[in-house]
Structure 1
Amino acid sequence: MPHPTTPPALIPAGRPALHYAQHAERCRAQLADFWGKPISGLPRGMDLLQAMHITATATDLVDTPESFGLYLTMCHNFGHAYRTSDVWVAPHSMAPQIARHPFVNQDSVIVGNLEDAAPARDGLACFPTPIHLDNNIHPIDGIAWHMEGSGDDLALAVETITTTRLLPTRLPPLLASSVHLPRTPYCPNGVTTLYEGILSGYSNPDWWGAPDTATALALVLAFWELRRPDDLNHHPEEDLLTVPQHTSGGTKNTGRDRKNKRSQRPTRKRRIRIIREPAHTTAHTTAHTTARNDRDRMAADDTSGPKWKDDTLRWEVTQKHQNRCPNPHQHRAIIEAGGECKPVSVPVKAHVNGPRGRDTDPRRAVRIVPDRPTRDRADDSQ
């Protein structure tokens, strides 16, 4: 890694940007082949998912037919998503900003309306400077997300992508020698899904050097929040480059023309989005941090009690079930006395939250993800 005091290199809109765009397109195509192209009737990614399944459950995937069918469906969905994904090349400065982002460093993650926050339903973000979180996690060279369904049936899948040669370094020797990793520079090392507010992981994060499920989700949300603007068509802070679509099999002959010469199928093109280095993330983050610090300072000087932030709007909450304490008024006394309050599932009627007298934000729908495992603070301080 470069020295912390050395300013990161820029990503200009010239030849270097074209190189990064071609590199990102090659990564997208290779991952699409890895998940979608079959070998002996099964997608290549099934072997990786089987190895992840063994590290998480200590059982063979063949012994659980229901999991086998689930993973097969996941491979087909991931392969299709990569074939239609929007691709971004992040600037060098975005990796450390994501590593320091509040979403990544908080103990819990609050998820808003994913369909409104996502820049694309299927996307891939490549990082020329990898994201470094701690010593137990491999550097993250890319993150991908795939969304299926809509509304209450919306499901989100997140993949963290790292350098392939790093994966065997933490795996047990027997597993490292038997798993068939792709012969490509990059490979997914963690798969996380979010459905109906429940996070699920499909591997042992320690063995694969992957972030836990909540951190993987936070990485995607942090990229969405730092990535500005929301306009997908054109914006001065993004350079839209067109590169030839990468294929593993090359072009095929379409036949012979009148002059008895072979004509080739026209090369397909793909658009790659290059996020510019300057103010894009730094200005937004600095302004956001300054405004937040000003509000915190004003709240500290105000002794009348906590108040709603000035920019908070009301939001609607649909009817659902929540786990709540059966003795809310005596809960603290019971816990201090050494007792236990087991939560019970109670129905919550549809209601509206937020400060009264303000407008309702129709795009906001809050889902709370359970607390993530506590990270080792000693590692964070290094």
Structure 2
Amino acid sequence: MCKSNAVGYRTSDVWVAPHTMGERIAAHPFLSGQGITAGRLEDLAPARDGFVYFPTPLHLIDCHPLHGLAWHMAGTGDELTTDIETITATRLLLPLLAAPTKLPRTPYCPNGLITLHRNVLNGYSNPVLFGAPGPATTLALLLAFWNLRRPTADGASDSQTADEDILTVLQHLTPDAKKTGLSGKKKRGSRAPAKRPIRIIREPARIPGPGGPAGSTAAAPGQRWKDGTLRWEVKAKSQNRCPNPHQHRAIIEAGGTCPPVSVPVRAHRNGPKGRDTDPRRTVRILPDRPDRDA
């Protein structure tokens, strides 16, 4: 089982969930204790081997915060076996367990494992010591993520959807990995480091309420502004901005970078709509001076 899960980690597709998805998963109907009709897991899973990281961890009662979920599928049809692991912060596990269990020296590590085979659900963890959710809760958490994750858009490939950005990061190698550089007479340099795609799930700025778009109420104009806030003018030519402003934090926490790019900015006005403009407040973004390149 350990060998099978290790293969699943190396071959898994990786997602970074939005910060608000943790609360939505915890409030999902699958977590209400009602019966779950999952159908064929092979048809529901976005990938046979997958891992999802929650920048804002999932908080459940009497459980350690969950920073991730990993799943691995082996076999097919009636012989399909699905393994699901919950990931938590290593520092939260009891110090007395560190010596006998040889906890990894990483910020996160698994704290619970369940298997599902022929509709039989088994759990391999000690909830009291490791703070892991029960087998049924773990399965419900994974199915809730699959349900909330947007399906593949029409015309898009399975590797990238219309609501995901793919970021390529360096693959972390184990200390026992062989060095790729050549020595001796044939020095041809080292091989390019291994990279791994990370899928950043995009989320709309406004999430529909429980009643859907019809039941959600739009914010009134100026509701998020103070009563005395006026509009102000912005006169700009160019500005260095992050190319992924909505996913910046998730990308940085996933180990990536967001080099700023120069973006042309037209003159516009900021602030609450429908209010007067404050003539004393003007933002000017000056272009780069020629002497900066010296």
Q: TM-score range, shorter-chain basis?
A: 0.5 to 0.7
Displacement of 1:177 in angstroms is: 4.8
| Alpha-carbon spacing, 1:184–1:107, altered in 2? closer, same or farther (3 Å) | same
Query: Match of 1:99?
Result: 26
1:355-374 CA-to-partner distances (Å, cap 9, x unmatched) read xxxxxxxxxxxxxxxxxxxx
Amino acid in structure 2 at the alignment position of 1:219: L
Q: How does 1:184-195 map to 2 (within 5 A)?
A: 184-195=106-117
1:200 and 2:122 matched = yes
In structure 2, stretches of 5+ residues that fail to align are 217-294
CA contact (8 A) 1:192 1:213 kept: yes
CA contact (8 A) 1:226 1:285 kept: no
| Alpha-carbon spacing, 1:161–1:253, altered in 2? closer, same or farther (3 Å) | closer
| Alpha-carbon spacing, 1:149–1:105, altered in 2? closer, same or farther (3 Å) | same
Query: Match of 1:79?
Result: 6
Normalising by structure 1, we get a TM-score of 0.51
CA distance, structure 1, for counterparts of residue 58 and residue 167 of structure 2: 24
Task: Report the count of equivalent residues.
Answer: 211
Q: 2:15 aligns with which of 84, 88, 93?
A: 88
CA distance, structure 2, for counterparts of residue 102 and residue 79 of structure 1: 31
Could you say what secondary structure the match of 1:274 adopts?
strand
Query: Match of 1:363?
Result: none
1:161 and 2:87 matched = yes
Aligned residues: CA RMSD: 2.6
Query: Match of 1:287?
Result: 212
CA distance, structure 2, for counterparts of residue 137 and residue 199 of structure 1: 20
CA distance, structure 2, for counterparts of residue 285 and residue 268 of structure 1: 43
Displacement of 1:138 in angstroms is: 0.3
Q: How does 1:139-288 map to 2 (within 5 A)?
A: 139-168=65-94, 173=96, 175=97, 177-230=99-152, 232-249=158-175, 252-255=179-182, 261=187, 263-278=189-204, 282-283=207-208, 287=212
CA distance, structure 2, for counterparts of residue 181 and residue 146 of structure 1: 21
Identity %, equivalent residues: 53
CA contact (8 A) 2:85 2:113 kept: yes
In structure 1, stretches of 5+ residues that fail to align are 1-73, 292-382
Name the structure with the higher helix share: 1
1:5-38 CA-to-partner distances (Å, cap 9, x unmatched) read xxxxxxxxxxxxxxxxxxxxxxxxxxxxxxxxxx
CA contact (8 A) 1:95 1:127 kept: yes
CA distance, structure 1, for counterparts of residue 56 and residue 135 of structure 2: 22
Displacement of 1:230 in angstroms is: 2.9
CA distance, structure 1, for counterparts of residue 202 and residue 131 of structure 2: 30
More relative contact order, 1 or 2 (CA 8 Å, 6+ apart):
1
CA contact (8 A) 1:125 1:144 kept: yes
Amino acid in structure 2 at the alignment position of 1:96: E
Displacement of 1:244 in angstroms is: 1.7
Query: Match of 1:307?
Result: none
CA contact (8 A) 1:257 1:263 kept: no
1:110 and 2:37 matched = yes
CA contact (8 A) 2:86 2:132 kept: yes
| Alpha-carbon spacing, 1:155–1:90, altered in 2? closer, same or farther (3 Å) | same
Amino acid in structure 2 at the alignment position of 1:124: F
Name the structure with the higher strand share: 2
Normalising by structure 2, we get a TM-score of 0.65
